[in-house]
Structure 1
Amino acid sequence: MIYFHDIDPIAISLGPIKVHWYGIMYLLGFTAAWWLGRKRIAAGRLPGVDANGFSDLLFYAMLGVVVGGRVGYMLFYATSEFLHNPLLLFKVWDGGMSFHGGLLGVLLAAWWWSRKHRLHLFDTLDFVAPLVPLGLGFGRIGNFIGAELWGKYTDGSWGVVFPSGLPAPLNGLDLTTLKAEFATGALNQYARHPSQLYEALLEGLVMFLVLWAVSAKPRHRYVIAGLFALMYGIFRFAVEFVRMPDNGVYLAFDWFTRGQLLSLPLVAFGLVLLALSRRAPVLQPVLPVAPEGAKA
């Protein structure tokens, strides 16, 4: 059944204070990462690191996500606007975050933290990778609620009519009028793929289940990070076929998008890491040692 998108992006409004669903999704993603990370620390999945060390790692990673995601968006998708007005970088309330930029930010944060704690970078990345997908899934749900990053037109019964995705002059009509038009079936031809939910399923739930299952057992270094990069690159490349290109522009062939271009290096990087893992050591969990005098 075709669905008419009518979700208020503001979850809570207290006078001048407005809390958007997208912000709540970010909070849920970081909370899930914290909870899952604590469980992995308790299971000895990052030897030599305690709960306090993990809290530092999560803090650096959060900074990497936010700063890298915003800078990446401005550089990858809004280059000309950014060059004309660099202060747009700080207008985060207008939206605009890039996964690939956020990933680079996390890589830099993980490198800094690993260097500080004298750990192999990819031991840290293998530890972090299973904590990320749920946050990606929540973020895509936030995109859906905010009616952004919608897909191409579809004849499927699961299509969604996004008022912001309607052509002129329909997109200038008030919501009540649009609902009346939708009730007659006049807007069904403008139903779109809910590509945000496709990505929430693939990049969120599927990636989490796979990475969590594989990381629950001793495995070679590079495997988890390699699987993360490979799966995300493939899933993102595939969904781009039914998702509207960023800024409405194709890079080539009337189908090749910037998102696909940025995903290809991830696929290649994931394959390289999996190849390297064949000769890498198998990492065994080391349970934290209880302080002397502590009760068993």
Structure 2
Amino acid sequence: MLVHPKIDPVLFALPEIELFGFHFQFAVHWYGLMYLLGFLGFWWFGTRRAAQPHIQWSREWVSDLLFYGVVGVIIGGRLGYMLFYNLPGFLGEPLSALRIWEGGMSFHGGLIGVLVAMWWFGRVHKLNFFDVGDFAVPMIPLGLLTGRIGNFINGELWGAPTTLPWGMVFPAAGPEPRHPSMLYEAFLEGAVLFAILWWFARKPRPRMAVGGLFLLGYGLFRTLVETVRLPDAHIGYLAGTGWLTMGMVLSAPMWLAGAAMLLLAYRRR
């Protein structure tokens, strides 16, 4: 049995100051730092992907795409969380969506935001939407990896109780050892999916193939982890099933669309 190390989610904070009657304090959270590392990883690997012989992208395009993507991730991730996982709170207080520092980001909402950002980027640079997606998706798992490590540091998104030797006791989840499901996601949706996509995208592939593989891989990996990850307490299991989660419902269209895109890509080839 393992025990969560109880890491302080705040890396460091400056003394609180008062300005015009308002109190302000600057603090750096581990979770935000993990997002920053994910963005930096996207840029570093993106510039190397742009230099591959079958890719005709400039470093400036990579930087522009990263900017568009950051905006899409933050806006889409926050709105997705409020709509998919906290709709009553959002309807009761719409401005609560602006309080990002309180936590609450949805991958599926962030993905929608990124898709919109990629569409807009392609429109500005006169690029096909699917070509933009095929270029970008091999680097996206890096952000999933660092983001789930941020969840682990915060001691959140734990799984169901388990008797497995790597079961972990989380401070806010009681004395029972539980699946460290956020680490499962970091490994599968982050490290493994990145390795698969980076290897697959090293050679020229038909349009939509790389993007389709990402959707298929993420959807399947997320659905697999959802079998041991506890749903949010205020949502619970859907339809009284005792097993169906919102994550499964939101992931199903992803792996279905990914499989369809792969089939279409190679049939059109």
Band of TM-score, shorter chain:
over 0.9
Label 1:153 to 1:220 Cα distance change in 2 as closer, same or farther (>3 A): same
In structure 1, the residue matched to 2:28 is 19
Choose the corresponding residue for 1:129, options 123, 137, 147. Answer: 137
Residue pairs, 1:177-256, within 5 angstroms = 187=175, 190-248=176-234, 249-252=236-239, 253-256=241-244
Choose the corresponding residue for 2:90, options 82, 85, 92. Answer: 82
- Whether the 8 Å contact between 1:126 and 1:225 is mirrored in structure 2 is yes
Q: SS of the counterpart of 1:12?
A: strand
Question: Please, which runs of 5 or more residues in structure 1 have no aligned partner?
Answer: 167-186, 282-296
Provide the C-alpha distance between the structure 1 equivalents of 2:13 and 2:186, rounded to a whole number of angstroms. Answer: 26
Residue pairs, 1:217-296, within 5 angstroms = 217-248=203-234, 249-252=236-239, 253-281=241-269
Q: Cα deviation per residue 1:238-277 (whole Å; 9 max; x = unaligned)? A: 1011111123511131110000000000011001100111
TM-score w.r.t. length of structure 1: 0.84
In structure 2, the residue matched to 1:149 is 157
Q: SS of the counterpart of 1:148?
A: coil
Instruction: Indicate the structure whose relative CO is greater, using CA pairs within 8 Å and at least 6 residues apart.
Output: 1
Identity %: 52
Q: Cα deviation per residue 1:16-42 (whole Å; 9 max; x = unaligned)? A: 322111011000000000001111112
In structure 2, the residue matched to 1:33 is 42
- Whether the 8 Å contact between 1:3 and 1:158 is mirrored in structure 2 is no
- Whether the 8 Å contact between 2:216 and 2:254 is mirrored in structure 1 is yes
- Whether the 8 Å contact between 2:38 and 2:146 is mirrored in structure 1 is yes
Provide the C-alpha distance between the structure 1 equivalents of 2:4 and 2:203, rounded to a whole number of angstroms. Answer: 44
Instruction: Letter of the 1:200 partner, please give it.
Output: A
Q: SS of the counterpart of 2:238?
A: coil
Instruction: Letter of the 1:40 partner, please give it.
Output: R
Provide the C-alpha distance between the structure 2 equivalents of 1:59 and 1:109, rounded to a whole number of angstroms. Answer: 9
1:120 aligns with 2:128: yes
Q: Cα deviation per residue 1:196-235 (whole Å; 9 max; x = unaligned)? A: 0000000000000000000011111111101100011011
1:71 aligns with 2:82: no
- Whether the 8 Å contact between 1:5 and 1:160 is mirrored in structure 2 is no
Q: Please tell me the root mean square deviation across aligned C-alpha atoms, in Å.
A: 1.2
In structure 2, the residue matched to 1:104 is 112
Q: SS of the counterpart of 1:196?
A: helix
Provide the C-alpha distance between the structure 1 equivalents of 2:242 and 2:196, rounded to a whole number of angstroms. Answer: 33
Q: Which shifted more, 110-119 or 253-262?
A: 110-119
Question: Please, which runs of 5 or more residues in structure 2 have no aligned partner?
Answer: 16-24
Residue pairs, 1:37-56, within 5 angstroms = 37-47=46-56, 49-56=57-64
In structure 1, the residue matched to 2:18 is none
- Whether the 8 Å contact between 1:64 and 1:108 is mirrored in structure 2 is yes
Q: SS of the counterpart of 1:246?
A: coil
TM-score w.r.t. length of structure 2: 0.93
- Whether the 8 Å contact between 1:45 and 1:127 is mirrored in structure 2 is no
- Whether the 8 Å contact between 1:77 and 1:247 is mirrored in structure 2 is no
In structure 2, the residue matched to 1:8 is 8
Q: SS of the counterpart of 1:8?
A: coil
